[in-house]
Structure 1
Amino acid sequence: MTATLRTRFVEDLAPGDRIGYDGLKAVVHSAIPNENGEFVVRLVNSSDDTRTELLLARGTKVEIR
């Protein structure tokens, strides 16, 4: 049985979503648009202790874990 990969657009992320992006695994704290139309995604419990946020373009898909 194959597992279905669940994805979500960055603009649809909600606090508490467990995500995977470019090898990073983390929990979303917030996803807030900036003045350039990109989203600043603040992270908690990141698999990379040095990354506390991501900057992603509108329409970017992330994996939901």
Structure 2
Amino acid sequence: MENEAWLKEQLAQFATNETDFTDRCLYEAAQRLVAEQAKRIQQANDELDGRIWSPDKW
């Protein structure tokens, strides 16, 4: 989570300082990608936790 927050902060800073429209769009798309990856990682962790604690799998 720490790396994710740092990366989002860096990308936001790059996007606000960028004057070229295409580069700004690239940074904003990268921010959305990081958020989506974090969501999917959390979902995978939750699924794994759920499968470990499921009595059907014991």
Normalized against structure 2, the TM-score is what?
0.22
Q: Which has the higher contact order (CA 8 A, sep 6+)?
A: 1
Normalized against structure 1, the TM-score is what?
0.21
Which has a greater percent of helix?
Answer: 2
Bigger radius of gyration: 2
